[in-house]
Chains A and B, each alone.
Chain A
Amino acid sequence: MCKKVAPAITESYQEVFRTKSGCIYQSDIEKSLLVEFANKIARFDIRCLQRLKSAVFSINLAEMATDTSRTTDVEIISLCACEHCYVLTLGEIINFRELLAGAFVMFELNSIIQERIYSIPVYA
Chain B
Amino acid sequence: MKDLMRLRSLLGTEVEALLNNQIKMEAYNSSVYLAMASWCDRNGFDYSADHFYKQAEDEREHMLRFFKYVSDMGGTAVSPSVDGIPQEFESFREVFETALELEVKTTQAINNIADKCYKEKDHVTVEFLNWFHKEQREEEYVARRCLELFEVIGEEGTGRWEIDKAIPSVSYGNE
Task: Give A residues with C-beta under 8 Å from B.
Answer: 14, 16, 26, 28, 31, 33, 45-47, 50-51, 104, 107, 110-111, 114-115
Contacts and interface: CB of A to CB of B under 8 A. Distances in A.
A115 B2 CA distance: 11
B8 A114 contact: no
22 contacts: A14-B1, A16-B1, A26-B1, A26-B2, A28-B1, A31-B4, A31-B7, A33-B4, A46-B4, A46-B8, A47-B8, A47-B76, A50-B76, A104-B13, A107-B3, A107-B4, A110-B1, A111-B3, A114-B2, A114-B3, A114-B6, A115-B3
Q: Chain B's interface: helix, strand, loop or mixed, by majority?
A: helix
Interface residues of B, number: 10
B5 interface: yes
B108 to A, nearest CB: 25
Interface in B140-157: none
Given A46-B4, A46-B8, 17 more contacts: A16-B1, A26-B1, A26-B2, A28-B1, A31-B2, A31-B7, A33-B4, A45-B8, A47-B76, A50-B13, A51-B76, A110-B1, A110-B3, A111-B3, A111-B5, A111-B6, A115-B3
